[in-house]
A = this chain, B = another copy of it.
Amino acid sequence: MNLVVLLPKDLVAPDRARLVGRRLAHVREVYRAGVGKELSVGLLGGAMGRGTVLSLDAEALEMALVLDQEPPPKLPLTLVIAVPRPKVLNRVVAAATSLGAARIILLNAWKVEKAYWASPRMGPEYLREQMLLGLEQAKDTVLPELRLARLFRPFVEDELPALIGAGRALVAHPGAGGESGLRGEPLTLAIGPEGGWIEAELLSLYRAGLRPLDLGPRILRTETALATLVGRLF
């Protein structure tokens, strides 16, 4: 936790916050903070700054806030991710958030196991928690926009082209060429399931405007591949 992300319910006054639970435990046990210590804080969806600890015990911490900085800008990046195994999902959502993706869409695909959709980790509270962890890591306060798209074709055919808009759109695919000359442009990036997209899905994605991109001979974990792409393209 590099930033304490404050929720509206943590504010006991406009310039004062009260922490309990996980964040309190982290501040006490990892930061070993005492009264007078300054913490990096930010208001969810709002400004960032410093919180000075006013009081602290096993129950709660109170701090005085000075919030005078903007959060870092988001990347103009929309990620379309075929729902991965629940364990991988956690890492990917937190990593995508910390990297600054503006929008994350979790999409169904032929090779996505039905059980993944039923996992508690696909619940909105659980996914939000992963995004909050990503914000705390990266020092950001703005949640990415998150959508679940349970029907592949309606989403890809009817909605994806508008999301791509005037930006570029890529789908990771071995054997394709490399991309070039799109540093900093708005980008939509589709990442397939473990077994890959099936042919019909690839065709739908191409028709929606996505172009194939070869990520090279090494097979990287999803969140690692994502980070190298962000480094390459932004």
Contact = CB atoms under 8 A, between A and B. Distances in A.
A72 B228 contact: no
A2 B226 CA distance: 18
Interface stretch (A10-18, A107-115, A165-173, A213-221): A213-221
A2 B219 contact: yes
B137 A221 contact: yes
Nearest to A232: B231
A143 interface: no
Interface string A66-83: 000000100000000000
Interface in A105-163: 137-140
A213 to B, nearest CB: 12
Interface string A221-233: 1011111111111
A23 B227 CA distance: 28
Contacts of A230: 228, 231
B219 A137 contact: yes
A24 to B, nearest CB: 21
A99 interface: yes
Contacts of A52: none
A98 interface: yes
A100 interface: yes
A63 B226 CA distance: 34
A30 to B, nearest CB: 10
A95 interface: yes
Contact of A228 (B137, B139, B140, B228): B228
Nearest to A226: B227
* Most-contacted residue by chain B among A99, A100, A220 (CB, 10 A): A220
Contact of A98 (B99, B138, B220, B229): B220
The 7 nearest A-B residue pairs measured at CB? A231-B231, A227-B227, A228-B231, A231-B232, A72-B217, A138-B218, A2-B219
